Copies of this chain bind each other. A is one copy, B any other.
Amino acid sequence: MVSSRLRHCGRAWYSVRRKVMADAITQRSKDFAQWYQDVIRQGDLAENAEVVRGCMVIKPHGYAIWEKIQHELDKRFKATGHKNAYFPLLIPKSFLAKEAQHVDGFAMECAVVTHSGLKAVKDENGKTSIEVRNKLEEEYVIRPTSETIIGHFFAKWIQSYRDLPLLINQWANVMRWEMRTRLFLRTTEFLWQEGHTAHADHDDALAEVRRMLDVYADFAEHVMAVPVIKGEKTASERFAGAVSTFCIEAMMQDGKALQSGTSHDLGQNFGKAFGVKFQTKDGKEDFVWQTSWGVSTRLVGGLIMTHSDDNGLVLPPALAPIHVAVVPIFKSDAEKTKVFEACDRVKRAAIDAGLECVFDAREEMRPGAKHFEWEQKGVPVRVEIGPRDVDGGSCVIKRRDMSPKDKISSPLEGVGETLARLMPEIQKSLYDRAKAFRDAHTVKADSYDALKQALDGDGKVGNFVLAHWDGTAETEAKIKDETKATIRCIPLEHDGETGKCVLTGQPSKQRVIFARAY
């Protein structure tokens, strides 16, 4: 039963809270970038490290979301036969040069280790300063990605077709010296997983590339509640060293695209660069066919920009570190006793129903402030219990995916099941909302003018624009230069419609997706 009746308790805080909140979080429609930062700050997810250029600190609530992401993905990687391993953080500088495209793609943004020690030196005033010492013979880079170092070990581990496929995944930190950084979306250091596999033939490698793309898409849609489009990247957007790159692309609430995961067909490029040879079934020698695929803490940024609202973070239940926050409302000690009893009961029932639940019994904090905090932390459901609720054997449930005014009155009897039932409902409602938003902002354009107009959308929220393209890098570059939009992908699913390039009029086999992107 949904009602928007004014509650008997906590009226005063409600208006106060809205006031405070309005100050704390910029509206999406006013300044999307600022809204994003505000949601992260108020949700206590992360902060800029400042003292370490372009890096961030992932705070407990943000890290708990990442742990959930890891857990769900890791399960899926293992179910598809992959095993985790760990390779060195440092890569010999010379390794990068072994694959020509790879070094072009990554060299400029590598952190370089040149020395292996420091020395504390005291000046005449007794102040300590630190000098660098022990220059290394060969410099190392901090891994920007691990194809090279893993290629080196694959060459040692693989002799025969019997050793294939070799299916490895690594959870690790990587570093790319970015010029413009943004929390979660683009940071100098980030956390990720990188799958690296080797196969006996190209078909098997390609099947792996597509399998992991499907794993990512399934994860995005069913766990993150983020609808994604699967497609292939154009040559100019490919991973440095790949034969082809596949991706999942999601739409953020400003209509921009976020590349959320990539899966690369590396062909024999790294196999040849690192001499990863094997004896085939018929006794010949060949280089292995490799793949790599990865997602990163960037996903947390995508999660935020897909679901959150002007009141702060909104989390899909499948990734929420806390599913239910129970907030007591009372004045006297007698009220407190019975309200706390009921809160405890709800907490136990929620935990028994398999949910993570917090009973917020903090002293010296008003119910309004508690509500406010759990709302900004994106907890899918808050439960509010006052003395009259207890008397009536009920509690009040507020869903984070609905307006703060919408309240559900629920009997305490069976509240665990009620809460458990709400989770898939909320999960679905978030997905449906995101899907409806994306559908509403996906349009076709059949001329260059129409493309440009469609990209802008209403001036605040842009669109994904399906348009024909002649397949050349020149056309792609010109459109990018003039519109700031890139080809996000050549979708795997399409209706087979052929046409003419919006810019050059040359023939096109299918529509591709143009959009501005993060």
Q: Does A88 contact B (CB under 8 A)?
A: yes
| Contacting residues, chain B, for A87 (C-beta < 8 A) | 49, 57
Q: CB-nearest residue of chain B relative to A113?
A: B111
| Contacting residues, chain B, for A411 (C-beta < 8 A) | none
Q: Does A69 contact B (CB under 8 A)?
A: no
- Given A51-B152, A58-B85, A168-B60, A117 contacting B109 (CB threshold 8 A): yes
Q: CB-nearest residue of chain B relative to A44?
A: B157
The docked-state distance in angstroms from the alpha carbon of A191 to that of B191 is 14
Mask for A21-37, Cβ within 8 A of B = 1, else 0? 00000000000000000
Q: CB-nearest residue of chain B relative to A104?
A: B120
Q: List 7 extra interface pairs beyond A52-B88, A64-B84, A114-B114, CB under 8 A.
A: A58-B85, A60-B168, A89-B142, A89-B175, A107-B119, A112-B117, A113-B142
Mask for A64-101, Cβ within 8 A of B = 1, else 0? 10110000000000000001111111111111110010
Give the residues from 174 to 216 in chain A that come closer than 8 angstroms, CB to CB, to chain B: 175, 177, 189, 191
Instruction: Name the interface size band of chain A.
Output: 35 or more
**Can you list 14 A-B contacts with CB-CB less than 8 angstroms, sorted by A residue number?**
A55-B89, A55-B90, A96-B118, A97-B129, A97-B130, A103-B128, A104-B120, A108-B117, A109-B117, A112-B114, A113-B142, A116-B177, A117-B177, A173-B173
Q: Does A503 contact B (CB under 8 A)?
A: no
Evaluate contact between B60 and A85: CB separation under 8 angstroms. Answer: yes
| Contacting residues, chain B, for A141 (C-beta < 8 A) | 118
The docked-state distance in angstroms from the alpha carbon of A107 to that of B51 is 19
Evaluate contact between B88 and A107: CB separation under 8 angstroms. Answer: no
Give the residues from 119 to 157 in chain A that come closer than 8 angstroms, CB to CB, to chain B: 119-120, 128-130, 132, 134, 139-142, 149, 152-153
Evaluate contact between A94 and B142: CB separation under 8 angstroms. Answer: no
Evaluate contact between A130 and B116: CB separation under 8 angstroms. Answer: no
The docked-state distance in angstroms from the alpha carbon of A223 to that of B142 is 34
The docked-state distance in angstroms from the alpha carbon of A92 to that of B56 is 14
Evaluate contact between A85 and B113: CB separation under 8 angstroms. Answer: no
Q: Does A110 contact B (CB under 8 A)?
A: yes
| Contacting residues, chain B, for A103 (C-beta < 8 A) | 118, 120, 128, 130
Evaluate contact between A85 and B59: CB separation under 8 angstroms. Answer: yes
| Contacting residues, chain B, for A421 (C-beta < 8 A) | none
| Contacting residues, chain B, for A113 (C-beta < 8 A) | 111-114, 142
Q: CB-nearest residue of chain B relative to A177?
A: B116
Evaluate contact between B112 and A85: CB separation under 8 angstroms. Answer: no
